[in-house]
Each structure stands twice: as structure tokens, then as C-alpha cells.
């Protein structure tokens, strides 16, 4: 009860940042380089009525703190921050407005339901954000933080640790995976519990994947002015970096229960031998550009949290309106603390960083491969051994950084995607024609990208499809995107994505076209799952999931965006499981080092009459993208007796040395030297 709390606020500890229940009360600490005063505003349990307000104590280095005796878990609160507010302050990057209640950036629990209302803006909506001020109090509808109960650390001893060469990633959206899954009880579908349900675990284990790569699961906001019925389904718009997304919980209105459900999911997946990686978005926030609302970071200290241009507008390296200023040491600390929280308290095994170069840009905006961000994460004890995977491009200058991250980072390798698609679809990639030598380099782990500085062959995360783009089934069925359902006139999504329809756009009853599409799907899957490097499979590609040609289904929280289990191709699922079983046997070596299992390529010239072949560690892989058969290179077969391990052609060959069928992959296993 509020009556039991101290009437005055004592000085508190300077850390950890955020509000934490400690012996005798709650300690709040946070920082702002430019704020002059911060009020700690206390609310009733429903977050509707402000009951008390306390001025935090300020140290000379910008750390604000206070200790509230008698308080404990469940305390609901917000922040009001005052700072420079003169006529020139907005052009200097300051957007302080004490009329706006702010969410604590370190909030472990978030209460309330957010709506895009004019009063959440610090200026008069429709007018200049540099010349007007909105003095309305937005507390009634603002999100609030709630003090979380102390939790024991996650049981990390239960977490599996797969060898890098054995790891197989599976990119999956928590809700989309289970919404149409008949084997999961309807009441559970779409939840954290559903992803760890025995039916889901049985599917993951049948496939042979080792590591789930979850689309964002931190607390997010949907964008304003969305067309009716559409929301930000993928979740790349994080506001609460210490709070799991309540959308996927069975008890979404209880933040404590949401966190417990997330921890239970991770623990169950760990018990099943599955690692958990989560997609994180530390590059921007929902506060948008200089016309955006004042929800948290902007009101606390925009000039420190964001990259601000000299005219007071926000630098946008993300194409989302703002860029988090990770070059600021305390912002880098915030990112490291958030990551450590998800490992230590929530139990996850690693992270995939959206638009990762943003995080490594220095004060001048240049990418710093040996910069402070990487050193800060390396110094965080909880991150020792955590998987760190970069999306190695952003929207800023020289933002394409494939091959540019330091060890032990891994990277999404879009060069593999483009080479594999271009080779099998017969189309050039964005870097030029896809030659046999180009594909051979990708199958060999992309050594020119990763071998030079001692990074292992597993550094590149290979994929042929991911969440943002065509699914595997669609990239062989559509030559053009069909994104009209997104409400943007088909203007969103990539226009130049490598795809082909093989004679008809979309669904067809033509058996020849259907057979060609099926052959190319199998060939692409074999190329992905037998290549050196770390493979990543998009959820649903193992059974032919289609999004009807939509290559940007970010706002489709409906049947279009959910995995279409009723139409799942079980034979294709079995084929994927077979490929991963062969990978575990050592197909192409799956080497941990570049010298452990060197790969030899044959018929590398594009005009060679034979098909491309690669030989490594007692295995031979042959690939024929053409619409007619091609013989295997005789020299590739020399010195060994071979047995057929796999052939993607619809009709099995009479023998291992028989000509390779059109649009097919063959894997041979050496059974004896000759």
C-alpha cells in the first residue's frame, strides 16, 4: 500500500540501473547526461492514478538514484524528466518535457496498453517539433514500469552446447509456428508454451535442427496508422529491452507470469537438447524520427541515446527513423546489460543482431571492427560463450559488412543465398553472374570472407530464405512479389529478389511446372544443408510453406503469416531430415577448421560439359542446375569406389556414376579406395 511507503526519498545506490527490490525497499538508478531533474512517479496497481512523486538524487556524473523504503515488487511507476527547454534546445538535440510520463528503459515489467495518441508527443502534432511544446499530461494512457520480483538465475546447467560444426539454426516466429498446428491444443497455440510443446519438440528433433533462432521476443510496439487488421507481427520495433513480449503468453496481462512462461519455454527446449537464440533490435526504437512520440529514451536524454544531426534531426542508419547511439559508453553498457539479463535470468544461449553494423559505428559514424562495442560485449561475463550472430548490413554509409565482423561473431551470409538461388534459378545475383566458381566458394564456407583472420568455416550462417523475403516454396513459384495484403500498394518488400516461376505465376495445375519447382526446392535444400558453414533453415521451408508470393509479411498476424501445417508436405520434411542426418554423418566434412577437411572442386569452368562436383573427406557432391542431364567429372570419381547416399532427382539413378538428372544434386559416399 502507498501509505506504507516512506514519505521522503533517501539517496539510493548508483546501480544496477533500473528499479530493483532490495532489502527494505526499492532502489531506482538511471542516468541522463543532460537532465536537470527526474521525478519518480508512483501509481496505483492498475497504473491509472498517480499517487506520489519523488525527486531523485543527482550525482555530478549524471547518475540519478533514490531508495524508497517499504516498497517492493509490484510497485508501478513512471518517470518525469526536466532539462534544457529553451528555444534553441530542440535544435541542440534536447526534447525534455516533464508533462510526458516516460517508461523506464530498464523496466523488467511493463503494464498498460499503448495507443498512438496525440498527447504522447512532446510537441503540437501537425506543427514543428522544434518550435512547439505539447504540455498535456499523458500519464493516464502512458505505459508504466512495474518492479519485478527477484528471480534466481536461469538453470544454465541444463542448456545444451552444440559443437559449432554440428549446429543447425532454425529461424522461427513464436506465434506463427503453432497457430495452425493440429497437434498442439488450441488454447496453447501462438504461445511460448506451444513452441516447447512435445509436438513442436518432436518436429524439431525429427528434422535434426539444434538451435532455434526466434524472431524478436522483447516487448515491442506496433507502428501507428496501420491498416485495419494489420499489426507489427514480426516484432522489429522494440521498446522494452528487458521485458519479454506479452503477445506470446497465456497470461499476457501479468508481466510476472509472462517472464515465467518465457523461462519455462527456454528450460523445456534446453531439456530437449535445443539451443535458443533470440533476434534483438538495439539499432532503433519506436520513438521514430524527430516527429515521433516521447515515450522513454527521447524524454530521458535524446542527445545521448540517439544519433542527432547538427540541425537537431535524427540520423537514420536504420530506415526506421532513428539510430540508437551505441557509441555512447553508457548506451553500450545498456545493450550489454540487456544481453546479460537475457542470458543470466531468462536462460537464452545467444543473439542474432538486427542491422548489426549500427552497433559498431563510432562517434564519427564509421564502422569500427575493433571498436568499443565489441570490447564491451567481450568484457561482459554473462556473455562468455554466448552465440553472437550479426545481420552484417545496415542502411548507413558503407553499411554492407559481410565478412567484416571479428571472431567469435558469426554472420548471416547473403552471398550464399544469392549464389545458391542464382545457380539453381539461372539468374545473376546482385554481385554479378553466378559462376560455378562462385557457388563452389559458397559451398566451401566462403573462405575469402572468413578465413583470412582466423575465423572458422562456421562463421558464415548460410541460408536460402529467411523471414524477410520469399519462402523457399514461393521463390520457385513467383517471379514478382505480391504484397498487396500489406496495405502499401505493393510498394514494400524487395523488387529485385531472386526468384522464378518456371512458366506460371503462383499456383498451377501444370504437372511439368510443379515437378520443376519441386526439383529446384530439393536442390536448394541440399545445397544449403550439405554446404560447409552454419546452415539456417526458415521455419516452414521443410514442408513447402507458402505466403502466396508475399515477400514482406511483417504485418500479417493471420493465416498468411502463420505456418500452413494443414498443407504440409511430409515427404519434403522427411527429405530435410535425411539431409541433416547425412550432415551429421560428416557429408562434405562439416569442418571445424579450414585445414581439417579441404574441399576439391571439379569442372569449375562454366562451359565444361560435366556437372560441377566437389569432393571432401570421403564424400562427393555433384550439382546440375541445367534442364538436361550432365555427366559427372571422371576425375572426381577416380581413386575410390562410391555408393549413392542421396539423389534429389525424382527417379533414382541406376548407379552412382550415371549422368546427373536435370536440376538435381547427388551425394556419393566413398566405400573403398580403388
Q: Name the residue among 565, 571, 573 with its Cα closest to residue 546.
A: 565
CB atoms within 10 A of CB 584: 13
Mean pLDDT of the chain: 96
What is the domain-level CATH number for residue 607?
A: 2.60.40
| Catalytic residue, candidates 261, 287, 391, 474 | 391
- Distance, first Cα to last Cα, the chain: 84
Residue 506 lies in a domain: no
Residue 564 lies in a domain: no
- For residue 499, the tally of other CB atoms under 10 A from its CB is 21
Distance CA 163, CA 177 (A): 26
Which pLDDT tens digit goes with each residue over 190-217?
Answer: 999 999 999 999 999 999 999 999 999 9
Q: Is the peptide bond before 232 cis (omega within 30 degrees of 0)?
A: no
Q: Is residue 69 part of a domain?
A: yes
The DSSP code sequence of 171-186 is EE-HHHHHTT-TTS-T
Specify the 3-state DSSP secondary structure of 52.
strand
For the segment 89-99, what is each residue's pLDDT rounded down to a tens digit? 999 999 999 99
- Report DSSP letters for 253-322, one per residue: T-HHHHHHHHHHHHHHHHHTT-EEEEEE--S--TT-STTS--SSHHHHHHHHHB-B-TTSPBP-SSSSS-
Q: Is 391 a catalytic residue?
A: yes
Going by C-beta distance under 8 Å and a sequence separation of 6 or more, which residues neighbour residue 509?
A: none
Structural domain contains residue 125: yes
In a domain, 65, yes or no: yes
Which of residues 114, 146, 178 is at a domain's end? 146
Cis peptide before 171 (omega within 30 of 0): no
| Torsions phi, psi for 570 (to 5 deg) | -65, -30
- At 597-646, the pLDDT tens digits run 788 999 999 999 999 999 998 999 999 999 999 999 999 999 999 999 99
Which one of 39, 354, 497, 542 is the catalytic residue?
Answer: 354
Query: Is residue 331, in this structure, part of any structural domain at all?
Result: no
Three-state secondary-structure class, residue 234: coil
pLDDT at 4: 66
Residue 192 to residue 268: CA distance in whole angstroms: 10
Burial 589-627 (b: 16+ CB within 10 A, else e): bbbeebeebebebbbeeeeeebbbbbbbebbbbbbbbee
Q: Are 113 and 142 in contact (CB under 8 A)?
A: no
For 636, the 3-state DSSP assignment is helix
Which of 104, 122, 146 terminates a domain? The answer is 146
Whether residue 186 is contained in a domain is answered as no
User: How far apart (Å, rounded) are the C-alpha atoms in residues 632 and 648?
Assistant: 15
Instruction: Give the separation between CA 206 and CA 578, rounded to whole angstroms.
Output: 10
Give the whole-angstrom CA distance, residue 202 versus residue 191. Answer: 17
Using alpha carbons, list the distances in angstroms from residue 363 to 201, 308, 324, 325, 367: 45, 11, 12, 8, 10
Residue stretches of the chain with pLDDT short of 50: 1
Domain, as residue range, for 75: 2-146
Exposure letters 416-438 (e unless 16+ CB within 10 A, then b): bbbbbbbbbbeeebeeeebbbeb
Q: What is the CATH number of the domain that holds 124?
A: 2.60.40.10
> Cα(52)–Cα(77) distance, rounded to whole angstroms?
10
Q: pTM above 0.95?
A: yes
Residue 473 φ/ψ, nearest 5 degrees: -65, -35
Give the whole-angstrom CA distance, residue 653 versus residue 659.
Answer: 8
pLDDT for res 3: 55
**Coil, helix or strand at residue 110:** strand
Q: How far is CA 635 from CA 350, 602, 603, 644, in A?
A: 43, 8, 9, 17
Give the per-residue pLDDT at 2: 57
275 in active site:
no
Residue 33 domain flag: yes
- For the chain, the domain total comes to 2
Residue 102 bridge partners (DSSP): 79
DSSP state of 330: H
Report which of 263, 266, 323, 313 is spatially closest to residue 291, judged by C-alpha positions: 313
Domain end position, chosen among 92, 126, 146: 146
Amino acid at each position: 500500500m502507498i501509505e506504507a511507503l516512506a514519505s521522503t526519498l533517501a539517496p539510493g545506490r548508483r546501480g544496477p540501473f533500473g528499479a530493483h527490490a532490495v532489502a527494505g525497499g526499492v532502489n531506482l538508478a538511471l542516468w541522463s547526461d543532460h537532465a536537470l531533474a527526474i521525478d519518480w512517479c508512483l501509481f496505483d496497481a492498475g497504473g491509472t492514478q498517480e499517487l506520489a512523486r519523488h525527486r531523485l538524487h543527482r550525482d555530478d556524473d549524471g547518475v540519478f538514484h533514490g531508495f524508497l523504503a517499504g516498497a517492493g515488487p509490484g510497485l508501478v511507476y513512471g518517470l518525469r524528466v526536466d532539462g534544457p527547454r529553451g528555444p534553441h534546445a530542440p535544435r541542440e538535440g534536447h526534447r525534455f518535457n516533464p508533462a510526458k510520463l516516460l517508461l523506464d528503459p530498464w523496466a523488467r515489467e511493463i503494464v498498460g496498453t499503448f495507443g498512438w495518441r496525440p498527447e504522447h508527443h512532446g510537441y503540437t502534432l501537425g506543427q514543428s517539433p522544434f518550435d512547439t511544446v505539447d504540455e498535456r499530461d499523458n500519464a493516464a494512457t502512458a505505459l508504466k514500469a512495474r518492479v519485478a520480483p527477484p528471480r534466481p538465475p536461469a538453470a544454465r546447467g541444463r542448456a545444451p552446447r552444440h559443437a559449432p560444426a554440428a549446429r543447425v539454426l532454425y529461424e522461427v516466429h513464436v506465434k506463427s509456428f503453432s497457430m495452425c498446428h493440429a497437434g498442439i491444443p488450441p488454447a496453447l497455440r501462438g504461445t511460448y508454451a506451444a513452441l516447447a510443446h512435445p509436438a513442436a519438440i518432436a518436429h524439431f528433433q525429427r528434422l535434426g535442427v539444434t538451435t532455434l533462432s526466434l524472431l524478436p521476443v522483447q516487448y515491442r510496439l506496433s507502428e501507428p496508422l496501420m491498416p485495419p487488421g494489420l499489426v507489427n507481427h514480426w516484432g522489429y520495433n522494440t521498446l522494452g529491452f528487458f521485458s519479454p513480449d506479452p503477445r506470446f503468453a497465456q497470461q499476457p496481462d501479468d508481466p510476472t507470469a509472462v517472464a515465467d512462461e518465457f523461462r519455462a519455454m527456454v528450460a523445456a527446449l534446453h531439456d530437449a537438447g535445443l539451443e535458443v537464440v533470440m533476434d534483438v533490435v538495439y539499432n532503433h526504437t519506436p520513438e521514430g524520427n524527430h516527429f515521433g512520440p516521447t515515450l522513454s529514451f527521447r524524454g530521458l536524454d535524446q542527445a545521448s541515446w540517439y544519433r542527432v544531426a547538427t540541425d537537431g534531426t535524427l540520423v537514420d542508419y536504420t530506415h526506421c527513423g532513428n539510430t540508437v547511439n551505441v557509441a555512447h559508453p553508457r548506451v553500450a553498457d545498456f545493450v550489454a546489460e540487456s544481453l546479460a539479463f537475457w542470458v543470466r535470468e531468462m536462460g537464452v544461449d545467444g543473439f542474432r543482431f538486427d542491422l548489426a553494423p549500427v552497433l559498431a559505428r563510432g562517434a564519427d559514424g564509421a564502422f569500427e571492427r575493433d571498436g568499443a562495442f565489441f570490447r564491451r560485449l567481450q568484457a561482459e561475463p554473462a556473455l562468455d560463450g554466448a552465440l553472437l550472430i550479426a545481420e552484417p548490413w545496415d542502411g548507413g554509409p558503407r553499411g554492407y559488412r559481410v565478412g567484416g565482423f571479428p571472431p567469435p561473431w558469426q554472420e548471416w551470409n547473403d552471398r550464399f543465398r544469392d549464389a545458391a538461388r542464382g545457380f539453381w534459378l539461372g539468374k545473376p545475383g546482385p554481385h554479378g553472374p553466378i559462376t560455378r566458381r562462385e557457388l563452389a566458394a559458397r559451398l566451401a564456407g566462403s573462405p575469402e570472407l572468413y578465413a583470412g583472420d582466423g575465423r572458422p568455416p562456421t562463421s558464415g550462417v548460410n541460408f536460402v530464405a529467411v523471414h524477410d523475403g520469399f519462402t523457399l516454396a514461393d521463390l520457385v513459384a513467383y517471379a514478382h512479389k505480391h504484397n498487396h495484403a500489406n496495405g502499401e500498394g505493393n510498394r514494400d518488400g524487395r523488387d529485385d529478389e531472386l526468384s522464378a516461376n518456371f512458366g506460371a505465376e503462383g499456383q498451377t495445375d501444370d504437372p511439368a511446372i510443379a515437378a520443376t519447382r519441386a526439383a529446384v526446392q530439393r536442390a536448394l535444400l541440399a545445397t544449403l544443408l550439405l554446404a560447409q558453414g552454419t546452415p539456417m533453415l526458415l521455419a516452414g521451408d521443410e514442408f513447402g510453406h507458402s505466403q502466396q508470393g508475399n515477400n514482406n509479411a511483417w504485418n500479417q498476424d493471420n493465416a498468411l503469416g502463420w505456418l500452413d501445417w494443414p498443407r504440409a508436405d511430409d515427404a519434403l520434411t522427411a527429405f530435410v531430415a535425411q539431409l541433416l542426418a547425412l550432415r551429421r554423418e560428416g557429408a562434405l566434412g562439416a569442418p571445424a577448421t579450414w585445414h581439417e577437411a579441404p574441399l576439391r572442386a571439379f569442372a569449375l569452368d562454366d562451359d565444361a560439359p560435366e556437372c560441377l562436383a566437389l569432393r571432401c573427406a570421403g564424400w562427393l557432391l555433384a550439382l546440375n542446375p541445367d534442364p538436361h542431364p550432365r555427366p559427372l567429372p571422371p576425375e572426381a570419381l577416380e581413386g575410390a569406389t562410391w555408393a549413392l547416399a542421396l539423389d534429389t532427382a525424382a527417379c533414382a539413378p541406376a548407379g552412382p556414376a550415371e549422368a546427373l538428372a536435370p536440376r538435381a544434386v547427388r551425394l556419393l559416399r566413398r566405400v573403398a579406395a580403388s
